[in-house]
Structure 1
Amino acid sequence: MHMTKIGFLSFGHWRDVPGSRVRSARESLVQAIDLALAAEEVGVDGAYFRVHHFAPQQAAPFPLLSAIAARTSRIEIGTGVIDMRYENPLYMAEEAAATDLISGGRLQLGVSRGSPETALAGYRSFGYVPESDDENGADLARDHTSVFRRAIAGEPMANANPQMTGAVGSLAITPQSDTLSERIWWGAGTRATAEWTAEQGMNLMSSTLLTEDTGVPFDQLQAEQIDRFRTTWREMGWEREPRVSVSRSIIPIIDDESRHYFGVRAQVEGQDQVGHLDGGLARFGRSYIGEPEQLVAELAADQAVREADTVLVTVPNQLGVDFNARLLAAVRDVFTEVDATPAAV
C-alpha cells in the first residue's frame, strides 16, 4: 500500500499585531524548532521552511535546520524553497553538507528561482548580477544551482596552494556528505520546468500554484506535471527512483479554535483560483478546510496528491506551536485514511 510522507511547510511569519502568537524573529525561530519536535512526536515525516529575504520571515535556513537536526532523530528537515539567485554556491555547499552531517543524512533541500519578492531584484543587493539579459534571474538561479551541485558532489573548486599542501592539484569543498546530491529538489512551476528538473536528476517539488493554466483543475494540471517529470526521468535512464512532493493548504476542523479561525474560510477557499503572476496566467490550488471525514474523501480524489510520495502541509505558523501540532496530528490521521482509500478508476 502506498504510504504518503507528510511534512509541514512553514513560511515563518512574525508580526507584532493582535492575535499573533509569533511577534518577533526570535519567537519565529524558537517556535519553528519546537514545532519540528512536536511534529516528530506525532509521527509527521518532515519539517520544511520557506526562505524569503527583506521580509519578516525566515531568511537563513541552515542555522535553523541545524538546530532542529540536533534536537530530533527521525524527521526529515528541508526547505521549500531557497531562492538560488541570492546564494553563494560554494558557501552554501559547505553549510548544506555540515547541516546534513549533523542530521545524519536527513536534509531534503528544495531550491529554485524563488517566488515574487518584496525587494526589487534584491539579489543584486547581495552582489549577484546576471551576465545575460535576464530580467527575473532565472538563468542566474540555474547557474548558481549547477555550481552548488557540482560542489556537493565533490568536484574540485579551487587550485591547491603548493606552499601549503606540498603538491600541485585542485581542492574540493569540505565537508562532504556522501548522499546529499540525491536529496536536492527543484521547485518547478510549470510542466516544462518539471521536465528540465528530471533532465538534471533532481527531485521534483511542486507548490500550491503553477505559473501556467490550461483550463483544467489544479490537481489535474499538477498530476500532468508529475507525469511528465517521471516520463522524462525514465528516458534519462537515472538509476535511482526520484521523489515528488506537492504542497497543500489543509485545515481539519477538529475543535472550536480551528472552527473559529477557519470555519468561514471553508466557504470561500474551496475552489481553484486563476490570476496573473510574473506577467502570465497562474492557477492557484484550492484550500482543503473541513471535517476530517470530508477531507479524506476530497484528498483521496486529488490526482496530484495520489501521484506524489510526499505532501507538504502549509501551516499557519502565527497561531503558535500547540495549534499547529494539533493540526498536524489531525492531518496525519487524515492521510492514514487517504492511503487506505482505493484510488478512483
Structure 2
Amino acid sequence: MKKKIGFLSFGHWRDVNGSQTRSGGDALLQTIDLAVAAEELGVDGAFVRVHHFERQLASPFPLLAAIGARTSRIEIGTGVIDMRYENPLYMAEEAAAADLISGGRLQLGVSRGSPETALRGAESFGYVPAEGSTAGDDARNKTEIFLAAIDGAAVARTDPARTGGVSGGLAVTPQSPGLRDRIWWGAGTRATAQWAAGIGVNLQSSTLLSEDTGVPFDRLQAEQIELFRQAWKEAGHTREARVSISRSVLPITEDIDRIYFGNQEQDEDQVGLLEGVRSRFGRTYAGEPDRIAAELAADEAVQAADTILFTVPNQLGVEYNARILETLTKHIAPAIGWSPAR
C-alpha cells in the first residue's frame, strides 16, 4: 500500500500574545483553510484531535463536513474521538452525514481518549459507566454499538400502533456505504491493538504508549503494529488493514523557525508515569529538514505504518503551517517513501 501523509491538528486556541488562533471560531475556520492548502500541496489527509472541556477542537462532525464540502480529494478524520462522551447511535448518524458530504473520505479514529483535566467529564455529558466497568470497557462497548449501527444493523423497533400491527427492525439513517471499513481504533497498548484487529478496524498507534519494555519508542510501536497485523490475519478479515502513526516534526528552515523551535530538538524518547503506569512518549523531531528526513527514514514504526500524521503548531496560523507542510512534502516525506497525490 502506498504510504500516505497527513496533518494532525490539536486545534488549540488562546487569546494571548503571539497566537494567531485566538478563539474557537478561529480554530475551526483556520483548520478548514489549512485542509484546503494541504490538499493543494498533495497531502493525503487532514485530521483533528478531539478534547472536551479544553480550548481545543471538541465537536468534530460539523468541522469535518465543512472540510469535506471545501475539498475534493483529501481524507478527513479524527485522532481520536473519546467514545466515553458519545451517544453511539447519534454519532452513527453524524458520521454517515459527514461521510456522504465528503464523498466517502471520512477516516474516523475513535478510542478511550487521553488523560484530561475534567474529573469524570463524560458523566457531565450524562454517560455514567455501568457498575464494575472501566472507562476502557465503556469506550469499547460504545464502539461496538457504533460499528453495528453504521453497518446497518437494526437498533430499534417499529411501533406496531403506527404500522398496522407490523413489528420490524429499524436502522439509523442515513447509511454511508464503506464507512465501516474506514474506522480506526487509537491504541495505547499492544493488547488494545490486537483487540482492534479482532473487531476489524484500522489501527491508529498512539504517540503515548502506556507500557514500557525498555526498547526505543519506535521499536515498541513497530512491535505493536506487527502484533496488530498478526491478529488481523488470524481473524480472517479479507480486506487489507491500514495503520497510522503520528510524529511531532518541526522543520527549521528560517530564522523565525529557530526562534520558535530551536530549543525543542530531542534525541531520546520520554519515559514517565501516566495515571500510575510507566509509559513511553514519542520524541519531537526539530531541526534541519535533511536531518529529520534521515531520522524518520530510520524510524521502525514509520516504515511499518502506511499513514504518517504530522502534528502542526496550529496557533501559528494557516500560512505558517502551510509552509511547514510544504517543507514536509518537498524535503522530508519523500525520504520515507511518500509521493504527492494529485
- Give TM class, smaller chain: over 0.9
2:285 equivalent to 1:291: no
1:303 pairs with one of 286, 300, 305:
300
What secondary structure, in the 3-state scheme, does the structure 2 residue paired with 1:116 have? coil
Determine the structure 1 residue equivalent to 2:273. Answer: 276
Determine the structure 1 residue equivalent to 2:329. Answer: 332
- Residues 97-176 of structure 1 mapped to structure 2, 5 A cutoff: 97-135=96-134, 137-166=135-164, 167-176=166-175
Give identity over the alignment, percent: 65
Taking the aligned partners of 1:165 and 1:103, their CA distance within structure 2 comes to 35
Amino acid at match of 2:212: D
Tell me how many residue pairs correspond in the alignment: 336
For residues 138-176 of structure 1, give each alpha carbon's deviation from its aligned partner in whole angstroms, at most 9, with x where no partner exists. 111111111100000000011112344443211100000
Taking the aligned partners of 2:3 and 2:260, their CA distance within structure 1 comes to 27
For residues 12-50 of structure 1, give each alpha carbon's deviation from its aligned partner in whole angstroms, at most 9, with x where no partner exists. 000011111100001011101000001101111101011
Determine the structure 2 residue equivalent to 1:320. Answer: 317
Determine the structure 2 residue equivalent to 1:7. Answer: 6
- Residues 124-273 of structure 1 mapped to structure 2, 5 A cutoff: 124-135=123-134, 137-166=135-164, 167-266=166-265, 269-273=266-270
Amino acid at match of 1:141: A
Taking the aligned partners of 2:185 and 2:336, their CA distance within structure 1 comes to 26
Determine the structure 2 residue equivalent to 1:56. Answer: 55
Taking the aligned partners of 1:257 and 1:40, their CA distance within structure 2 comes to 25
Amino acid at match of 1:322: E
For residues 211-232 of structure 1, give each alpha carbon's deviation from its aligned partner in whole angstroms, at most 9, with x where no partner exists. 0000000000000000000011
Deviation at 1:296, TM superposition (A): 1.4
What secondary structure, in the 3-state scheme, does the structure 2 residue paired with 1:156 have? coil
Amino acid at match of 1:160: T
What secondary structure, in the 3-state scheme, does the structure 2 residue paired with 1:187 have? strand
Amino acid at match of 2:239: R
Deviation at 1:134, TM superposition (A): 3.4
Deviation at 1:252, TM superposition (A): 1.2
Deviation at 1:339, TM superposition (A): 1.4
Contact 2:294 2:335 in 1 (8 A): no
Contact 2:79 2:109 in 1 (8 A): yes
User: What do you get for the CA RMSD once the two structures are aligned?
Assistant: 1.1
Taking the aligned partners of 2:72 and 2:327, their CA distance within structure 1 comes to 22
For residues 62-107 of structure 1, give each alpha carbon's deviation from its aligned partner in whole angstroms, at most 9, with x where no partner exists. 0000000000000000000000000000000000000000000000
For residues 109-150 of structure 1, give each alpha carbon's deviation from its aligned partner in whole angstroms, at most 9, with x where no partner exists. 000000001210100111111113235x11111111111000
Contact 1:43 1:329 in 2 (8 A): no
Determine the structure 2 residue equivalent to 1:343. Answer: none
Unaligned runs of 5+ in 1: 341-345
The normalised TM-score by structure 2 is 0.96
Amino acid at match of 1:218: F
Determine the structure 1 residue equivalent to 2:78. Answer: 79
Taking the aligned partners of 2:267 and 2:205, their CA distance within structure 1 comes to 19
Determine the structure 2 residue equivalent to 1:21. Answer: 20
Taking the aligned partners of 2:2 and 2:286, their CA distance within structure 1 comes to 22
Contact 1:4 1:335 in 2 (8 A): no
Taking the aligned partners of 1:132 and 1:230, their CA distance within structure 2 comes to 33
Deviation at 1:260, TM superposition (A): 1.6
What secondary structure, in the 3-state scheme, does the structure 2 residue paired with 1:313 have? strand
What secondary structure, in the 3-state scheme, does the structure 2 residue paired with 1:282 have? strand
What secondary structure, in the 3-state scheme, does the structure 1 residue paired with 2:114 have? coil
